[in-house]
Amino acid sequence: MIDFKKIEISDKGWIEELLRYSDFRGAEYCFTNLFIWDEVYHSKISRFKDYILFTSGSGDTARYLFPAGKGDLKEVIELLENDAKERNVNFVLIGLSPETKERLEEVFPGKYNFRAERNSFDYIYESEKLVSLAGKKLQSKRNHLARFKELPGWQYEDITEQNIQECVTYSNEWCKLNGCGENISLMLECCAVNKALANYFQLGLRGGLLRLDGKLVAYTVGEQLNSDTVIVHIEKAEAEIRGSYPMINREFAERLSEGFTYVNREDDAGDEGLRKAKNSYYPVFMQEKYSAVKK
Summarize the confidence of residues 246-274 as an average pLDDT.
96
Question: What is the model's pLDDT at position 59?
Answer: 81
| Amino acid in position 217 | V
Q: Which stretch of 1-10, 97-106, 184-193, 271-280 has the lowest confidence by average pLDDT?
A: 184-193
Question: What is the model's pLDDT at position 259?
Answer: 96
- Which string of b and e fits 98-115 if b means at least 16 CB within 10 Å? eebbeebeeebeeebeee
What span, in angstroms and rounded, lies between the C-alpha atoms of 295 and 111? 6
Domains annotated on the chain, with CATH:
9-121 (3.40.630.30), 122-266 (3.40.630.30)
What confidence category does residue 204 fall into, taking pLDDT thresholds of 50, 70 and 90? very high
pLDDT tens per residue across span 27-52: 999 999 999 999 999 999 999 999 99
What span, in angstroms and rounded, lies between the C-alpha atoms of 249 and 208? 10
Summarize the confidence of residues 212-234 as an average pLDDT.
97
Mean pLDDT, the chain, as a whole number?
96
Phi-psi region of 266 (alpha: psi -120 to 50; beta: other; left: phi over 0): left
Summarize the confidence of residues 157-180 as an average pLDDT.
93
Question: Does the pLDDT value for residue 60 go beyond 90?
Answer: no
Rg (CA), the chain: 20
pLDDT tens per residue across span 269-295: 999 999 999 999 999 999 999 999 999
Q: Which stretch of 160-164, 188-192, 214-218 has the lowest confidence by average pLDDT?
A: 188-192
Sequence-distant (6+) residues with CB within 8 A of 280 are 140, 141
pTM of the model: 0.96
Sequence-distant (6+) residues with CB within 8 A of 275 are 268
